[in-house]
Amino acid sequence: MTRPLRVAIVGAGPAGIYAGNILNRQVTEAGGEVAIDLFESLPAPYGLIRYGVAPDHPRIKGIVNSLHEMLDAGTIRLIGNVEVGRDITVDELRERYDAVVFATGALRDAPLDIPGIDLPGSYGAADVVAWYDGHPDVAREWPLEAEQIAVIGNGNVALDVARVLAKHPKDLLSTDVPANVVAGLEASPVTDVHVFGRRGPTHVKFTPIELRELGEVPDVDVIVYDDDFERAAGDPHADQLLASNNQVKVMTRTLNGWRKPADWVPTASRRLHLHFLHAPVEVLGVDRVEGVRFERTRPVGDGSVVGTGEFVDVPVQAVYRAVGYASSPLPGVPFDERRAVIPNDGGRVTDAAGQPIPGVYATGWIKRGPVGLIGHTKGDALETITNLLADAAAGALPEPTVSAGPDGDEVFELLEGRGIRFTTWAGWLELDAHERGLGEAWEPTDAAHADIVRERVKVVPRDEQVEISRAGALVGS
């Protein structure tokens, strides 16, 4: 191929950025040329890292710094505020690029099919996470009216939601949490947040860091229940995990450290309860959530649990389900509704007959489902890009039918002609600087906040993000 290989990547979260970085590195190391356009539906990059992780996770900054370096190198061109399937179609991308890689992630909540789950006061964790992370497409206000809250799930998202809802908002001010979220949390009457899992304490899906953080939240007592540990005792599968897995050992030690003597009395103004061996069977209430009914479970020795026929009702006024994420279909792309992924073979997107569609690929959670951490995302991207380049070497990629133009600017002309106010990397640098400036300008309202330093304050409204991005940057740069 005498001209540069042209590739469009859809989704500027970690999966898309890693794919672009690996693609550029492999092509240039082989002495070739590649032009990569990274399309993102939001005005800003980083996807789930910016809009799906609790703001009080400082280690996420390291991931953002790494992603920033990859985009700042100038080898990947960011095109933000563009919805593929609406502002530009998949067919139009395929006309302009040798290959299209979908890295759109998993942004909606997996369902929890129990009676009452749709009552007012019942929410998906993904929605409240988007709210407290300042996602531009969710409402500015969140109905925080409950004193007792149930969070259903035993993964890190469940812990994040529970921790943020239980935390005093002043303890979030050192993060980039938006002003409207601080105001909402300050008005919350919450006293107790309960986290429920179907399996025992040895089988939680938390990671040690997230679990340990619970015990470090000021003025929030963490409460576990001896009965849950006693019911889980004697499980051979749990014993095997405990003997072979260091993470399980650390988390078990942490959980056991929170067990208290019978005469212990909570002293904090808020409490965060961890319950195990509770399977939700019904959300209770008439006009809104009034409680949750659980069936107590017991381990059966192979890592699974069965119901005991014993039921317990827990009074709460709000329920958050954190039982996993699911991907959404894109217009013009095959989608497996049952697995909620784009069907693929090693990242090569396949049609209804299971045959690869030339020039169409997937990576990240849209490829394999919402499991795994950043390391898995890198491995996914490597597999997909390796197969893409093998197809390019074999001449299996369809030739673009629309010229990119002398500077690769034909796609910008197309978007501008449609009135799409797209953003660029230069625009993100302007928005990034603006948010950091808001953090520097923040002033405490009372002496209790005097020692708080804010690195940034996140801008929430989409139009405001776009205006800031486009005002200070040359569009198309």
CATH homologous superfamily of 5-107+327-422 = NAD(P)-binding Rossmann-like Domain (3.40.50.720)
- The structural domains of the chain, with segments of one domain joined by +, span 5-107+327-422, 108-323
Backbone angles phi, psi at 289, to 5 degrees: -65, 130
Phi, psi of 123, rounded to the nearest 5 degrees:
-135, 160
Distance CA 194, CA 172 (A): 20
d(CA 178, CA 460): 7
DSSP class of residue 359 equals: E
CA distance 395 to 29: 20
How close are the terminal C-alpha atoms of the chain, in Å? 26
CATH of 108-323, one of 1.20.120.430, 3.50.50.60, 3.20.20.210, 3.40.470.10: 3.50.50.60
pLDDT tens, per residue, the chain with 477 residues: 578 999 999 999 999 999 999 999 999 999 999 999 999 999 999 998 999 888 888 677 678 899 999 999 999 999 999 999 999 999 999 999 999 999 999 888 999 999 999 999 999 999 999 999 999 999 999 999 999 999 999 999 999 999 999 999 999 998 999 999 999 999 999 999 999 999 999 999 988 988 998 999 999 999 999 999 999 999 999 999 999 999 999 999 999 999 999 899 999 999 999 999 999 999 999 999 999 999 999 999 999 999 999 999 999 999 999 998 889 999 999 999 999 999 999 999 999 999 999 999 999 999 998 876 676 789 999 999 999 999 999 999 999 999 999 889 999 999 999 999 999 999 999 999 999 999 999 888 776 677 888 888 999 999 999 999 998 654 443
In this prediction the pTM is: 0.93
For residue 354, CA distances in Å to 130, 329, 363, 382 come to: 35, 18, 17, 22
Q: Where are the alpha helices (DSSP H) in 32-124?
A: 48-51, 60-72, 90-96
Token couple for 214: 């619970």
